[in-house]
Structure 1
Amino acid sequence: MEAGKILSCPRCSKRVAVKTQAPTVYSSCTCPVLIPDNNSDHYSQLKLVQPQHQQPQHGIGHLVVHLTNKLQGMGKTSRRGDHSAVSFNYPVEFPPSRRPTKRAMLCGVSYKSRKFELKGTVNDVKNMRELLMNKFGYPKEYIRVLTEEEPRQEFIPTKENMLSSLKWLVEDSHPGDSLVFFYSGHGLRKRDFDEDELDGFDETICPSDFSNTGMIVDNDLNSILVCPLKNGVKLHAIVDSCHSGTILDLPCVYDRKEKRWNNNRPPSGNYKSTAGGLAISIGACTDEQNAADSSTFTGKMDGVLTYLLVDLLKKFPGPTYGDLLDLMEETMDQVNRGGNLLKKLFSSKLSQTPLLSSSEEFNPYKTHIAL
């Protein structure tokens, strides 16, 4: 996929996503839609398109065309991709003294053969693993994968295995280390009795055996992943589940509309931040919302957050956190406002707002993403 860039409309100042070789963007305040050259992969023309029904309100440029092209001609949706019993976990070949500075734990829970089974979580893990290896240089030996497709028992996403792998991710970390925790699965809420939550509810993730062993609560994730982070260590959590906005209980939550950080510190006064490191979380939605998955984008089930995040990070070199979140939400808005094709292929409206939280404040529109 050819890389792109993000430009500002010279008249209305809205951002427009264009391919690197696209000509200068000219626009009225309705912003252009990029029209691809049918004889090449480049967007060689820029035209103002008058939709039949509703004028687009966001200048997301060729993302609209890219999404529409993927939707056109698509047949019936696939319920599940074929998964062979091949492990994505590799033996460690590095001596402890030369441990790589990049490690990741990727967890996708399907809840097989249950009425709440999810179809897209394994695809999400595969897509994230490919992104980390090919785009960000993560060694495959230091990407631990937990799914119900794994042939080895220790990599099935039970509560015990998930907690063990979470501890593995952060143990013996040193300045310069970059860590990624990715989760795709069910998320729930439960009443908070510790006065740690401003809204009175704990957010949770659900292991494959949560019906018997219980959920993993945001307090647990904070104590295992966040509190031990030393100075110079960076953790990214990408959580594609319902109610995932503040899943790490980080003290700073970004309000994109107001362009400011809100205080998420617990009323109890408990310390919820790091030991000097940096923790950043991208949740699929706010704590009150549900997260969706869909077969619309690829013909296979994918989490909407995971698909958009992976797709955008592959296309655009070094976007800022603000650009990434804006483009994801604008794409979902465009789908919701779309014509008959989009409305037919999406069974329901996408009503989730990706949420950024952090252990400390920074400028999301000047800080580039480096996993």
Structure 2
Amino acid sequence: MNRALVVGIGDYGRLMQPLPGCANDRSGWSELLRGALGLGGGELRVRADAEATKLTLLNDLAWLLDSVSPGDQRVFFFAGHGARLRRRDPVTGIADDVIDETIVAHPGASGDHESFMLFDADLAAMIDQSGFPQSARLTLILDSCHSGGMMRKILLDGEDMPLPRCLIIPEEEVALSRSWLAQPTVRAFGSLDRAQTQVQRVILAAARAEQPAWDDRMPNGLRHGVFSYHALNALAAQPAISFRELVDTVAPQIAARFPQVPTLLGDSSRFPNRMFN
């Protein structure tokens, strides 16, 4: 049985860092995956804005990784903020020496940054402990920044401008991340070293680790993630497109306006294969 989880967070509530293109990305990927994977009503979960809390997404990811049979396809799509953060020990409060990449869930009413972050190491452990069979296919599509937190552009009332999908971290967190080392060690998203990974997967990232992923008004007149807009158009034109062909198609289109390079990570044996069938 194929399943997909599609998350698009455009309204980040109290953080006041909106991403207006995420709603259209959420709708576009939901429609595409429903058709491409032949999903029924109970095989597709879609989460938007305030309902996409960390707890909800962890439960949804557990559902996505559960009851997998040989040949199944499971897909997780996320549109929203990304970030990089040094995690703190829950007892001592001491910050880790390694920066973790995260995707940012809806923050809810209260809590520090870690309370609404889905960290790469945790997501990787969840996947590796799931018992996901090698004969099934797991794909993560992430239209968010992996650089995280250093940009300072915001959406002002009445303005329509490109936005980086990077959470703006308070200055004390930025200083903490910079203070310990000029070139910090960063865990690659998903712990993708084959020697350390029990479950192979493909991660299709909207940008390189050091780059923002952009949200802007596109030629159809609507806001989108720049990557999602071009990727959905490519898949509509070529339903049998491979991962590698998709990246090769959209990369020059994106580069014409934005310093953003979509990237493939993970199980390279799948890169030449059709994305969905």
Calculate the TM-score normalised by the size of structure 1: 0.56
8 A Cα contact 1:188 1:204, kept in partner = yes
8 A Cα contact 2:21 2:224, kept in partner = yes
Q: In the TM superposition, what are the counterparts of 1:18-167 in structure 2 within 5 Å?
A: 101-110=1-10, 111-112=12-13, 114-148=15-49, 156-167=51-62
Q: In the TM superposition, what are the counterparts of 1:1-371 in structure 2 within 5 Å?
A: 101-110=1-10, 111-112=12-13, 114-148=15-49, 156-191=51-86, 200-209=98-107, 212=111, 213-228=115-130, 229-243=132-146, 246-251=188-193, 271-274=196-199, 278-333=200-255, 335-336=256-257, 350-358=258-266, 360-362=267-269, 364=271, 366-370=272-276
Deviation of residue 227 (structure 1)?
4.2
Deviation of residue 303 (structure 1)?
0.7
**What secondary structure, in the 3-state scheme, does the structure 2 residue paired with 1:362 have?**
helix
8 A Cα contact 1:226 1:279, kept in partner = no
- Structure ranking higher in helix proportion: 2
Aligned equivalents of 1:238, 1:291: Cα separation in 2? 13
8 A Cα contact 1:187 1:242, kept in partner = yes
**What secondary structure, in the 3-state scheme, does the structure 1 residue paired with 2:102 have?**
strand
Deviation of residue 221 (structure 1)?
1.0
* Identity of matched residues, %: 29
Aligned equivalents of 2:127, 2:88: Cα separation in 1? 22
**What secondary structure, in the 3-state scheme, does the structure 2 residue paired with 1:308 have?**
helix
Aligned equivalents of 1:166, 1:363: Cα separation in 2? 22
CA shift in 2, pair 1:169/1:331, >3 Å? same
Structure 1 vs Structure 2 CA RMSD: 2.5
Deviation of residue 114 (structure 1)?
4.2
Deviation of residue 249 (structure 1)?
2.5
CA shift in 2, pair 1:317/1:206, >3 Å? closer
Aligned equivalents of 1:136, 1:332: Cα separation in 2? 26
Count of aligned positions: 225
8 A Cα contact 1:243 1:290, kept in partner = yes
Aligned equivalents of 1:192, 1:159: Cα separation in 2? 16
Aligned equivalents of 1:273, 1:188: Cα separation in 2? 25
Aligned equivalents of 1:169, 1:134: Cα separation in 2? 18
- Output the amino acid matched with 2:118: I
Aligned equivalents of 1:113, 1:299: Cα separation in 2? 28
Deviation of residue 193 (structure 1)?
8.7
CA shift in 2, pair 1:325/1:193, >3 Å? farther
Deviation of residue 367 (structure 1)?
2.2
Aligned equivalents of 1:287, 1:114: Cα separation in 2? 23
List structure 1 segments (4+ residues) > 4 angstroms apart after TM superposition: none
Which deviations, in whole Å up to 9, do the C-alpha atoms of 1:37-94 show, x marking residues without a partner? Answer: xxxxxxxxxxxxxxxxxxxxxxxxxxxxxxxxxxxxxxxxxxxxxxxxxxxxxxxxxx
Deviation of residue 223 (structure 1)?
1.5
Which deviations, in whole Å up to 9, do the C-alpha atoms of 1:96-135 show, x marking residues without a partner? Answer: xxxxx11011111121464211111121111001101223
Deviation of residue 224 (structure 1)?
1.7
8 A Cα contact 1:204 1:217, kept in partner = yes
Aligned equivalents of 1:224, 1:145: Cα separation in 2? 20
The structure, 1 or 2, with the larger RCO (C-alpha pairs under 8 Å, 6+ apart) is: 2
Aligned equivalents of 1:147, 1:243: Cα separation in 2? 21
Aligned match of 1:80: none
Aligned equivalents of 1:117, 1:247: Cα separation in 2? 24
**What secondary structure, in the 3-state scheme, does the structure 1 residue paired with 2:201 have?**
strand
Quick check: which has more Rg, 1 or 2?
1
- Output the amino acid matched with 1:175: P
- Output the amino acid matched with 1:331: Q
Calculate the TM-score normalised by the size of structure 2: 0.74
